A and B are shown apart, each in its own frame.
Chain A
Amino acid sequence: MSQDQTTPRSVGAVAARRLRFAEPIRLRSGATIDEYELVYETYGRLNAARSNAVLVCHALNASHHVAGYYADDPQNVGWWDNMIGPGKPLDTERFFVVGVNNLGGCFGSTGPSSPNPQTGKPYGASFPVVTVEDWVNVQARLADRLGIRCWAAAMGGSLGAMQALQWAISYPDRIRHALVIAAAPKLSAQNIAFNEIARQAITTDPDFHGGNYYHHGAVPKRGLRVARMIGHVTYLSDDAMMEKFGRSLRSGKLGFHFDVDFEIESYLRYQADKFSSYFDANTYLLITRALDYFDPAHDHGGNLTAALSPVAAAFLVVSFTSDWRFPPERSREIVKALLEHRIDVSYAEIDAPHGHDAFLLDDPRYHALVRAYYENVARDVGAERSPAAPSAIEEGESVPMTAGGSFAA
């Protein structure tokens, strides 16, 4: 362990920035978006060699607000704050960390709720389907604008991990390391089934209006609530739920009604209410679709090894034993394909009880491993420790905004 390690602390007050991209981007679907904006945050300092930048990719319902808090909203702490900051596993005194709200998102980047420049009205249902490949292409344009030729690492959990993996495939010369956590190389039929239930909940909500609810001053909250409940259940393990809630009753006895009896019902409703108050239903549809479509092996006759042929980055792959959404076997598929190319890869299976959401929790074995891996990354890219100002990049217009989202699976 290095002697000069800082006591872990928050990266402090942070600010989101916005960049406008005027060059059209052609999407995997064939559709084109002529211009778009991305909202992002950065922490730490980009070194002179521009070699210490780390991209942190978000999953289903998180945002660019990865670490720190907003001065005007100190309760709004970044979704991976336990991982990223001075002295934390991803140490912002060494690395320049970038979080970005993906295209199609609802935290400031261009998405279905943004005005379509051609009509002046929200895109709504006309916003094209975006894929993980599209997001990575868009992130590459952000990297260009920030002057980042090659990422020291791209990192994510779940859908975020899929983006890190896609980076290694799409831009092998622009990424040195990929940290792929709680991932799968593609969704199973069961995974897609859960997504479809969530989408059905949203699209059959009478307030959905075919995706153009903005024009009707409506929000398909009922659908979003159910979608969130389904998602949330899949992020937790049976054991973790039993441990946390058991069969506890709110009032201590059965009510013989269909309102809240059990604590777990109360918890789900609370999570659903919170989520439906800030998340955009169309974005939920888009992101679940991006998950469904992710399958790098698809264009290679289902052969993942062939799909990973371009990969040059080194990998850390981590899974969690109780994750039944993306269980360890799914991560081992990725590891096996990397091994076949003799790619540098380490794989850890963390025996954690929390299910898929374990990637967001600060299990000491998990964090020690990520910390040790970043020590190697730092050596590889020559990332020296420098107590940093929050951000040295002045590109982009700063946006006074807050981003919601606590859970990020």
Chain B
Amino acid sequence: MTLSGRPDLDAIAAWVKPGAAVLDLGCGDGLLLKVLNATKRVRGYGVEIADDNVLACVKNGVNVIQSNLERGLQGFDAGSFDYVILSQTLQAMRHTEAIVVEMLRVGRQAIVTFPNFGHWQARWQVALGGRMPVSGTLPYQWYDTPNVHLCTIRDFEQFCAAHSIHILERLVLHEGRPVSFIPNLRGSLAVFRFEKAAH
């Protein structure tokens, strides 16, 4: 079973420890959890708001809880999951700050993935084309994008520093391959694993 076309999910699947309790926020059709169930025997639950995705999860044999993430995670106890995952959804959340705080309340660790607005193509399109960027990781026009809180890798790292969040691991990708040299310019997709900083 593979996660073809979603290199960020491959990265997550590689990070998650076998047998872990995993909460996947905005889990879509449940593909990541299906893979994690099969390869890591996790205790996994997805959270989804869309009816068709909830149905798809059940068809995929994945546990799913229909809920609106914008209202937080009040149905989940503090520290009840090893990992809380939010893949390619952070930038579309209205309450971005609140959901990250919630992820670290419910999970011992959190994993997020998001399109890097600092990628050179995005910068190029704004700076020289004078237009909002459209690319593989940002496929929307300005008027139909669900993305309301786009950020760069540097933005996110500053956010973590300001919120006492300790970054455990970072992977930056472009077209499925890791980028280590000036990643905020050359990477189009960011994957972060983090926890609450010890006081």
Complex Cα distance, B54 from A339, in Å, reads: 17
Count residues of A near B (Cβ-Cβ below 8 Å).
23
**Inter-subunit contact A345/B63 (CB<8 Å):** yes
Going nearest first, the 5 A-B pairs with the smallest beta carbon separation are A372-B58, A347-B65, A372-B59, A349-B66, A348-B66
- B75 in the interface, Cβ–Cβ < 8 Å? yes
Chain B interface residue count, Cβ-Cβ cutoff 8 angstroms: 19
B87 to chain A, nearest CB (A): 20
A336 partner residues in chain B, CB cutoff 8 A: 75-77
CB distance from B37 to the nearest CB of A (A): 10
Q: Which residues from chain B contact A339 at a C-beta distance below 8 Å?
A: 45, 65, 75-77, 80
For B63, list chain A residues within 8 Å (CB): 344-346
Contact flags B45-78 to A (C-beta < 8 A → 1, else 0): 1000001001101110101111100000001110
Q: Are B58 and A347 in contact (CB under 8 A)?
A: no
Inter-chain CA distance A332–B66, complex, in Å, is 10
Chain B residues at the A interface, C-beta cutoff of 8 Å = 21, 43, 45, 51, 54-55, 57-59, 61, 63-67, 75-77, 80
A368 engages B55 (CB within 8 Å): yes
Contact call A340/B58, Cβ cutoff below 8 A: no
A338 to B66, CA, bound (A): 15
Contacts A346-B65, A347-B64, A348-B66 hold; do A369 and B54 have CB atoms under 8 A apart? yes
* Other A-B pairs, 14, CB within 8 Å; known A339-B77, A346-B65, A373-B58: A316-B58, A335-B65, A336-B76, A336-B77, A342-B43, A346-B54, A350-B51, A351-B51, A365-B51, A369-B58, A372-B55, A372-B58, A372-B59, A379-B61
Q: List, in ascending order, chain B residues with CB within 8 A of A346's CB.
A: 54, 57-58, 63-65
Which A residues are CB-close (under 8 A) to B43?
Answer: 342
User: Once the chains are docked, how many angstroms separate the CA of A350 from the CA of B49?
Assistant: 11
State in angstroms the CA–CA spacing of A340 and B21 once bound together: 11
A375 at the interface (CB under 8 A from B): yes
Bound Cα distance A368, B77 (Å): 30
Contact indicator B77/A376 (Cβ below 8 Å): no
